[in-house]
Amino acid sequence: MGALRLSLHLAAELGLVIPAICDGERVIVVHHAERHELWAAGRERPAWDRLATVEEEAPGWLDRYLHSAASSTDVHSYWRIEERAGTLDVPATNWKTLAAAIGADLAISVSTQNARAEPFRTPRRSDTWEALPLFPATESGAPAHRLLGTLVDEQAALADERNPKNENSAYQNLGAQAAAESDNWGARLDGWVVEVLLRCANESRGTPDTLDDQLLARLTPEPAQRSVAATGPVAAAAGTGEPAPLPKWARRLGLVLTAAGLTVLLLASAHILARYPWVALAFGSMMTLYLWRKK
């Protein structure tokens, strides 16, 4: 009773260790006038491991444990992990400053004014009238929706580039160094999406005017940079002295040009083969020897 508001935070930010019986890395904070409560999302498990693991992972929680045999569908539950005295500050967000910081880090055009106009919804559906916005859609919160939508679109474009089925994408033809840089860029993009999601969850009254000149302090840690040797579609060829494999389109083009050249040669020498048939036997023998040696 008497709760003032809710906010979402990373457990590590609050120095909280979430019991293994719960799920995720984030906690919901229930704010009161002189205290705040930390809640985490509970998760169901198969009934067979109920007695075997719960007491080890979370002593004393067995009476509150949920298992999948107790209901016909997943149960969404939240459990109070801890209560702390005092108030917890929830930093407000200057979306213009945040967009500028993201654009500078990722070297992309990020604007809270010219991006998608509609509220951000998930999942993306054609019948959008059934899909509710991920968080309240208000006039003051419109920049948050636009920024999140822009970043999610960038994630979708990068996922399409990385899809192995998209064999002609630029990413599939990158060298080891360029692929590592692309992977690091993607990791930074994912980190910014988490940052924006946390701030969107805590958006309540828009951007106060007093935040216009304040510097941005990140809520989430910056992702670690990945090494060149461990990333990229041609990383296996790096450091072995072997050249990177040709892209598939180049191999196909080479096959087409070879077939065209042989066809022209065959047509040009047709009158010779008609007069001296044994030349065809010699030519066929050389081709057979070449293919055998190539194996």
Give the count of beta carbons closer than 10 Å to the beta carbon of residue 163: 12
pLDDT for res 29: 94
Mean pLDDT of 16-26: 78
The pLDDT value recorded for residue 7 is 92
Average pLDDT, stretch 133-157? 85
Instruction: Please give the model's pTM, rounded to 2 decimal places.
Output: 0.64
Q: What is the pLDDT of residues 253-291, one digit of tens each?
A: 777 787 777 777 777 777 777 777 777 777 777 777 766
pLDDT at position 117 is: 60
Average model confidence (pLDDT) for the chain?
75
Q: What is the pLDDT of residue 264?
A: 78
Specify the pLDDT at position 106: 92
Q: What is the pLDDT of residue 88?
A: 93
- % residues pLDDT > 70 (the chain): 66
pLDDT of 190 higher than 90: yes
pLDDT at 145: 86
Over residues 101-105, the mean pLDDT reads 91
Q: Of the given ranges (159-168, 183-192, 240-249), which has the lowest mean pLDDT?
A: 240-249
pLDDT digits (tens, 9 = 90+) for 199-233: 998 887 554 444 554 556 777 777 777 665 544 44
